[in-house]
Amino acid sequence: MLLKAAESVTLEPVQAGIGIRWLIKDDAPNFAMRVIEIEPGVVFSPHHHPYEHEIYVLEGSGIVTNSEGDVEDMYPGVFLYVPPDEVHGYRNTGDVTLKFICVIPQ
């Protein structure tokens, strides 16, 4: 059994103002658990890939976007399912870091 504090895992840069912590990856046979952190005002541009996301918002506030613009509000306690190949992006609209769990297959 592995137990750790998420904050103890290195925040790796994705792009300016966006980082990722790979909480569970190498030990796991089927899916990986990460935390994505987006600074205030920063946009994670809409993109797509052939695998799904299962997301749970931990802190902060923002918007999930698709190729046409804003879609719905993200705030703590909200979960999202993004199917494979669906366009999605994020925008932090608050004044603190937007943090969410994002699980992907592996």
What residue ranges bind a second copy (CB under 8 A)?
1-7, 23-24, 27-31, 33, 52, 54, 56, 58, 64, 66, 71-72, 74, 77-84, 86, 88, 101, 103, 105
From CA 75, how far away is CA 11, in angstroms rounded?
21
Question: Smallest gap, in angstroms, from Cβ of residue 46 to a second copy?
Answer: 12
Q: Are strands 88-92 and 62-66 parallel, antiparallel or unpaired?
A: antiparallel
**What are the C-alpha distances in Å from 19 to residues 9, 15, 32, 83, 105?**
12, 7, 16, 22, 19
Residue 53 Cβ vs a second copy, minimum distance, rounded to whole Å? 9
- Nearer Cβ to a second copy, position 41 or 85? 85
